[in-house]
């Protein structure tokens, strides 16, 4: 399985677009929201998420793009404390992205230029 450091925005965008059946621009926005939490890690603690992003993460779990894990710690008071984690399912994401036939193609050079680049200015 690939390490997260080799993971790319484009791969996650393609996987979300294919598995979620959504347009590439929407999938790209969701990929950015997800990757902003993970940084250079492949897991993040649930406490960091706000309510709206937690809903997004549960949706991504339904698509098998994210998975959950938890661990318990015993507090000095004797109570059990559970910590929940979200984990990128890198193997499944790679599988979805590789199965996709260029679901979200990279825009060419001319498509990335702003509209005003196409106008000529009179001297």
Residue 6: per-residue pLDDT: 43
Residue 1: per-residue pLDDT: 38
Q: What is the pLDDT of residues 66-113, one digit of tens each?
A: 999 999 999 999 999 999 999 999 899 988 888 655 566 666 666 666
This prediction has a pTM of 0.74
Q: Name the residue ranges covered by the structural domains of the chain.
A: 4-105
Q: What are the contacts of 42-49 at 24+ separation with CB within 8 A? A: 42/3, 42/4, 42/7, 42/87, 42/88, 42/90, 43/69, 43/85, 43/86, 43/87, 43/88, 44/85, 44/86, 45/83, 45/84, 45/85, 45/86, 46/83, 46/84, 46/85, 46/86, 47/83, 49/86
Q: What is the pLDDT of residues 4-60, one digit of tens each?
A: 444 588 889 989 999 998 998 899 899 999 999 988 888 999 999 999 999 999 999
């Amino acid at each position: 399985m690939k390490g997260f450091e080799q993971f790319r925005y484009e791969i996650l965008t393609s996987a979300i677009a294919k598995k979620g059946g959504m347009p590439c621009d929407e999938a790209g926005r969701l990929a950015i929201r997800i990757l902003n939490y993970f940084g250079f890690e492949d897991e993040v603690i649930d406490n960091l998420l706000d309510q709206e992003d937690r809903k997004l993460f549960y949706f991504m779990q339904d698509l098998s793009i994210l998975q959950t894990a938890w661990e318990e710690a015993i507090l000095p008071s004797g109570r059990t404390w559970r910590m929940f984690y979200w984990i990128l399912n890198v193997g499944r994401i790679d599988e979805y992205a590789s199965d996709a036939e260029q679901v979200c193609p990279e825009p060419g050079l001319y498509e990335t230029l702003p509209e005003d680049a196409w106008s000529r200015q009179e001297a």
